[in-house]
Amino acid sequence: MSTKNKIILLTHGGWGAALINSMGLLVGKPENVFEVALEPSFTLEQYIEKVQGAVGEVSNNTLVLTDIPGGTTSNVALRLSRRYPWHIISGVNALMLVEAIMHQEETLSDEVLAKILEAGQQSQKELRVPKQV
Name the site residues for other proteins (rule: CB under 8 A): 12, 40-46, 68-72, 74-75, 78-79, 82
Q: Which residues contact 106 (CB under 8 A, 6 or more apart)?
A: 5, 112
Q: Is 33 or 84 the residue whose CB approaches other proteins more closely?
A: 84
Q: Is 73 or 104 the residue whose CB approaches other proteins more closely?
A: 73
What is the Cβ-side half-sphere exposure of residue 4, based on CA atoms within 13 angstroms? 14
Q: 49 — phi, psi (to 5°)?
A: -60, -45
C-alpha gyration radius of the chain: 16
Residue 7, SS3 per DSSP? strand
**In one letter, which amino acid is 27?**
V
d(Cα 130, Cα 94) in Å, to the nearest integer?
Answer: 25
Shortest spacing between CB 43 and other proteins, in angstroms: 3
Q: Is 62 or 72 the residue whose CB approaches other proteins more closely?
A: 72
Shortest spacing between CB 65 and other proteins, in angstroms: 16
Shortest spacing between CB 117 and other proteins, in angstroms: 16
Sign, CA torsion 103/109/111/115 = positive
Q: Is 77 or 101 the residue whose CB approaches other proteins more closely?
A: 77
Shortest spacing between CB 133 and other proteins, in angstroms: 42
